[in-house]
Every structure is written in structure tokens, then in C-alpha cells.
Amino acid sequence: MVRPRSKIASLAGVLCAMAFTAAPEPVVLAGPTAVAGGPLPVVPAVRSFTPRTGAAWKPGTSTRVVATRGGTLEDEARLLAGELHVPYADGPARAGDVSLSLDRVNANPEAYELTAGSGGITVRGRTDAGVFYGTRTLLQVLRADGRFPAGAVRDEPDRAQRGLTVDIARKNFSRGWIEDRIRELGDLKLNQLHLHFSDDQGFRIESSSHPEIVSAQHLSKADLRAITALAERRHVTVVPEIDTPGHLGSVFAAHPELQLRDASGAPAHGAIDISDPRAARITDDLLREFAPLFPGPYWHLGGDEYHAAIVPAPEAAYPRLAALARRRYGPGATVADAETGWLNDRAALLRSYGKIPKFWNDGFHGSALARPDTADEIEYWSGKRLRGRRPEEYLKEGRRLVNLNDEYLYYILGGPKSFPYPTGQRIYEKWTPAVVYGTAAVAAGLSGPDRILGARFAIWCDDAAAQTEAQIAAGIRMPLRALSQKLWDPGRPALSWRKFTALAGRVG
């Protein structure tokens, strides 16, 4: 493909081992420890920590993790109890316990408060997600220092969407690898995993409606249920993508009649013929089959690099699509309008399943004849080279973006010469959510959390054999940690990159 995107002594020993085995970098103490009064050792850094007089808390032989049995927080309590190797209990809390509860902290649904002292730990949040993030803070501090200093944490993310994209279409990733990434995302307070599971080279999810298009190596529906169940427990939303109407080459081996052809009869790489009603039927069959399998609120429809919309003189090259556009939208309509109409139809179907559609920015065309719904979200990726419109144009229309700027956030297998593997340091020091296209930030009035909703780091498998799963996991480790920090708090980082790297080693 051509595109360049193209979560006691024996306990202390366990926690220490967790931190050191998870860190490929040398572990170096980064400045003062939390117990000595310095910043809490947490990635991402907490927004506010107020030290208090008194002894630090550390787990003891009688420590329990307490939450109401059968309540919303039982999963969070049982997970933390297992990580700390202490019992889970139904309460009430006793001295030395970790107590989890729901309470309105502020308007941010992912906010939490943590209070620590020698008598115990309390974590409360408006939602179970907020409480979960509080337990991640507690766990990281214990990994780094073995105890939690007396004081109060007030913490919340700046951006609502924070995550990772994985191209599982062109490279088959194992279920175990995907599940490990979900655990990693949850521990870093990242909350999205976008799975790009269809492309020209493969279709990687079991299908009962169209088994003929499925690649030999794929995720079964049982795998999907396990992945989405783990993701829900770690407060990670799985965002599925069937990329359409481009990048559907995996369909054509079984259905060659659906491949788009130009006026001379030449096939268009990866492009489905949206003027053929059979193309809509097979696409909608797949959407209806898979939409109920993903409990999250989002569905990605792709829309990028549709060959017919990006060639010179598309109306002459693809007269059937031009005729389709004119029939639907009038004499001035273009092939781009025909593609927009196709995507709007698929988006309407997904909205009937309660999904919020997402599209790549170059599938959002500027015509007034066929316009996507204003609730649809734009995933802006073309940061190195302009494709479609600049982000400011969408933002001024009142649309909302998610930032996947390929200048900083694209990890392309096999692309180091033209697309060097991104470094965590560059993300940490140079990038913010407002840097959507190129290296300059959009205007402050357009870059707030209600306009630029967040960002994801993206793995694209242009050369699937270029790296193993283990190499990819190691390569994205520090970029994910840098992204986590900049989405939780986009301001100037308090630590140097060297100290941040050392901190990442300490907390595991």
C-alpha cells in the first residue's frame, strides 16, 4: 500500500521484579523519590499532589482491597488485589486497607482523587474508569518506591481519546500480543485500541456472512470476545475499522467483479466499485455482522485514498461514478460527492447500531452537495503531506478531530528511510495534541479538548516481515509513554527526557 500510515518483603520483591522485568532500559533513579518529597513516580504524571504530614502508607500483612461486592468497582478491586497479592474484601474498610468508591470528583468522567496516609489509601472517582486510573497511580508508586507518601492526589486527563492503532490486516498479530497491548494501554491510562482489520492484503476477522474473504490467519469471534472483554475490564475501547471504499483488495480474490475499473477497463488498486449495488450489499453485510461484536461507541469507516477520488480528472477517468454522483446530487456533482454519499450511507447504518462513525481526513471532501454528519469524527493523519484539507478548515466548520499526525505518530514497518521510526523523545519534547499537520500547532482557539479530542499512536505494517511482534512492542514502548504524558497533560513536561526515560523504567 502506498499510504505512509501506509492498562511486606515478599510483596516488595514482587513489585520490584515487575518494574525491572518490564523495562528494557537501565533503571536509574530519577531525582528525589516520592517518599523524600519529590514528584510522584507515575507515567503519566499526576496533575496535582499535595503532601501531608505523616507516615507513608505501605501494604502490610493485614492489607485488603475493599469495594462493595457485586458493585461497579468489584472488577477494579479484584484486579488490584491480585496485583498487590492481598485479599479482596466487601468492607467496611479497616486501618491499612485500600478503599475504592464512586463519588463525584468533578465533571471529567475519568477524574479521580487518591488520599494516602499511614491509616490506608482511599481512591474515589466519578466513574469506574477514574477509580481504575487511581489504582494505576497507586501501583506505579509502589513499584517504584514500595510505599505511598502521605498526601492527596487530584488527577484527570486533558484529552478524552488516547490510544493506539494497530494494522492487523497486513500483519497477523496474535491474540496474546493484542491482549498484552491492552494491559499496557490501561496501565498508561490510554483508553483506545483501534484495530484496522481489513485492507488490500488481508481480512483478519472471522466472518459468517462472507467467509470467502477471510484470510487464513485471522482472529476468531471467540478471540474477539476475549479481547473486548479484557479491554472493558482495563477501560480500553476497541475501535474496529473496515476501510472502505478504498483498501478493500482482500475482497476481490473472491469477488473480482466488484473491483473498480476506469474508462479503459484498467482496475483501480484496492478500490471497490461504489456504483455497483452488490458492493453496498457485501459491505453492509459485514457491518451488520460485526457492529454487535464491539461494545464501544465508535466505528471507523476509513474513507482514505479511494483511487477514483484522487486521480487527475476523476470524472473523465471514472464516468460511471460521475454519473452516479449527478443522479444523486445534481449536474454539478463530482466523484468525490459519490464517495461521500457512499460513506454517509454506511455511517447511517452504523448510527442505527448506536455507533459514532470515524473517517480518515482525506475521505472528508469539501463539497456542499454531499456532506458528512457533523457528529462524525475526523481522524487526521496526513501530517507530512497535505491530503484533502488542512485541519483548521474542518475545525472552523465545528468538526472534531482525533490527531494521528504521521510526522510524529506513525510507526511504519519497513519505512525507516522515508519514514523513520518515531521516537518517544520527539513526541515528548516537540509534539502536542494541537500539532495536527506538520510541526506547527493550530490556533489556540481551535485546539481545545472539545475540538481536538485526543490522539493515537499508529502501527502500520507496509512490510509485515520487517519486525517481529517482540520488536514492535519494544519499539513502541517509549513513544506510547511519551504520548500518554502529552495527552494527560499537554503542558511542558516537568522532567527532562533522560529523567522521564529513567522514571519509565522504575514504574514498569
Q: Do 449 and 159 contact (CB within 8 A), yes or no?
A: yes
Q: Are strands 112-117 and 151-155 parallel, antiparallel or unpaired?
A: antiparallel
If you count them, how many residues does the chain have? 508
Residues β-bridged to residue 359: 378
Name the residue among 288, 291, 262, 293 with its Cα closest to residue 275: 262
Residue with cell 483501534: 194
Check 113, 184, 305, 407 and give the catalytic one: 305
Residue 407 known to be catalytic:
no
Q: Do 287 and 248 contact (CB within 8 A), yes or no?
A: no
Q: Do 327 and 357 contact (CB within 8 A), yes or no?
A: no
d(CA 488, CA 163): 11
CB-CB neighbours of 399 under 10 Å:
19
Helix (H, G, I), strand (E, B) or coil at 258: helix
* DSSP state string for 233-251: HTT-EEEEEEEESSS-GGG
Its sign, for the CA torsion 203, 267, 263, 246, is positive
CB-CB neighbours of 323 under 10 Å:
14
d(CA 380, CA 434): 11
Quick one: how far is CA 220 from the chain centroid? 22
Question: Amino acid identity, residue 52?
Answer: R
Instruction: Report the side by side order of strands in the sheet with 88-89.
Output: 48-51, 151-155, 112-117, 120-125, 98-102, 65-66, 88-89
Angle between helix axes 175-187 and 128-145 (nearest 10 degrees) is 90
Residues β-bridged to residue 151: 51, 116
Q: Which three cell numbers stand for residue 293?
A: 461484536
CA angle 28, 40, 493 (to 5 degrees): 80
Question: Which residues does the annotation mark as catalytic?
Answer: 305
